[in-house]
Amino acid sequence: MSMHNLSHSARRPSWRLARPEIGSITLALLTALYLIAFTNRTFFTRSFEYFDNHLSLAAFIFGLTCLFAAFTIAISVKYLMKPLLILMVLSAASASWFMDGFGTIIDVDMIRNAATTTTSEAGHLITPAYLLHMTVFGILPSLLVAFVRIKHRNFFAKLRWNLTAIVPLLLLALACGVSSARSIAAVTRLHKDLILTLNPFVPVGSAVAFVLASEADKNIVAAPLGTDARVAGPTRSGKPRVLIIVTGETARAENFSLGGYDRETNPELNKHDITYFSDTSSCGTATAVSVPCMFSNLKRSGYSHRAGLANENLLDVFGHAGIRTEWWENNTGDKNVADRTTMHSFSNANDPRFCTANECLDDAMIDQLDTWLSNVKGDSVLVLHQLGSHGPAYYQRYTPEFARFTPECRTGEIGTCERQSVVNTYDNTILYTDHILSSVIDHLKARENSIDPAMIYMSDHGESLGENGLYLHGAPYIIAPSQQTHVPFVLWQGTEMKAMVDAGCLTRRAGEEASHDNLFHTALGLMSVKTSVYTPKLDVLSACRAPASGASS
């Protein structure tokens, strides 16, 4: 060795000399095998469950492994390889925690929901167990990738060697696919959730798709809707109409005693003259989808995130009609619904009587309801966006007197609790929501001498509580269980409004199918708004209301 090389080597830090060297293809293959083997428990579990033919199963898994390996080799570009591999490892580790522990599918809507959440909500998910999981399966492997020295060839040599590895891998994947095409097609067609659990391709792909869509969405301007809206006329008594829309959070119809649940979770509502629509479905399974969808006139069949941004909504139509609107926020945001109306955030106010760390009990809104009602001068609509039954920290959603079902699961790590204690704690949140809704009705009833009131309650989506290994919500709608899509829908009308409706007809209508599609048109009908965007058949009261009292085009 020359003196120059010796002196150059002597200047190198000893830790650099100790770092092992590894070829780029070898590191890519090892990373691919690690990700397949250690972050895909849900994918493998479902694969073994869905495939009857073991040879087809082996071909399916081996073919995907070859594709995975080919992909990691393809990205083994100098200076980019380490950051990309580390990103994949960290993403896969995080995604596997939620997929394996909660049955969560990390699609674009789930990414959007996560991106619009609050630090308080995120704090309930970033638990000590999650941090330990990330350390073992994410951080330590990433440090290994960062530590080794990668041996890169020059460009043309790298291209030749990479293709020498990638082409056979792709041919093997193709052979596996062709040999078991019929079985693979049958399984993936019948079980659409299977490929959605492939980690980290689906989570990373969803994140990329979300970022690209978000950039494109920045320049969207909402198109006017219902600019012809006007109030049909004053009430018979001359009192202003007041509608309170309570937008629920994570309440599932299956746990409402109003709908037949064997526990008494609606004792207070049961004492009121309410109408309960027992067969109501949601627009989505996550707040970021359901809330803007339920306030739009697009219906679930025509709704998309971009379409929701590109069109005004129910609150805008009320505004065009000259009706005062206001949105009270006690959740993770209005999801752009209240962009053009007055909004008040309770979590930001952080009132110490009701709030801890920027999360507030829904009583914070009830506390100010009388003041708002005292200032009503004309037709008005108020939206209360609840924190409701938001998980996984269900035990923080109610006050001690509503802890009637015990034992409780008093942790955000609900997977460590007995399932019955999770259900108990969730049912306590429903009891508390029952109290909140009853309180809204009581406040409205107390002012019937000066207003003509009504209340609509709809939950944005439901919740899985361990059924089939699923927890929380956010499953892609096409595979979502009924627990996440069957939601409670409650209607209360004051004396004057209810006198305009045939009681027998309304009882029959309450037993028929309903959905978030009905909110837009039912709310317009209750406020007697005439507009061309009102559809009578989607107003649950239209067929039961006296002809002169509803909205029309």
Question: What domains lie within the chain, and their CATH numbers?
Answer: 3-217 (no CATH), 242-485+496-546 (3.40.720.10)
Q: What are the structure tokens assigned to 117, written together?
A: 């959440």
What gap in Å lies between CA 252 and CA 378, rounded to an integer?
34
CB 234 within 8 A of CB 549: no
β-bridge pairing 279-281 and 452-459: unpaired
Long-range contacts of 499-503 (CB under 8 A, 24+ apart): 500/545, 500/546, 500/549, 501/541, 501/544, 501/545, 501/546, 502/544, 502/545
Task: Report residue 23: phi and psi, to 5°.
Answer: -70, 150
Instruction: Note down pLDDT in tens along the chain; length 553 residues.
Output: 444 444 444 455 554 557 899 999 999 999 999 999 999 999 999 999 999 999 999 999 999 999 999 999 999 998 999 999 999 999 999 999 999 988 888 888 888 888 777 777 777 888 899 999 999 999 999 999 999 999 988 888 989 999 999 999 999 999 999 999 999 999 998 898 899 999 999 999 999 888 888 888 888 999 999 999 999 999 999 999 999 999 999 999 999 999 999 999 999 999 999 999 999 999 999 999 999 999 999 999 999 999 999 999 999 999 999 999 999 999 999 999 999 999 999 988 889 999 998 899 999 999 999 999 999 999 999 999 999 999 999 999 999 999 999 999 999 889 889 999 999 999 999 999 999 999 999 999 999 999 999 999 999 999 999 998 899 999 999 999 999 999 999 999 999 999 999 999 999 999 999 999 999 999 999 999 999 999 999 999 999 997 655 454 4
How far apart CA 256 and CA 258 sit, in angstroms, is: 5
**DSSP E strands: which ranges in 173-254?**
230-231, 241-248
Helix (H) / strand (E) containing 279: strand 279-281
> What whole-number distance in Å separates Cα of residue 117 and Cα of residue 128?
20
Predicted local confidence at residue 17, as pLDDT: 53
Residue 551's pLDDT is what? Answer: 57
Q: Check residue 15 and give its pLDDT.
A: 47
Burial category of 553 from C-beta neighbours within 10 Å (exposed 0-12, middle 13-18, buried 19 and up)? exposed
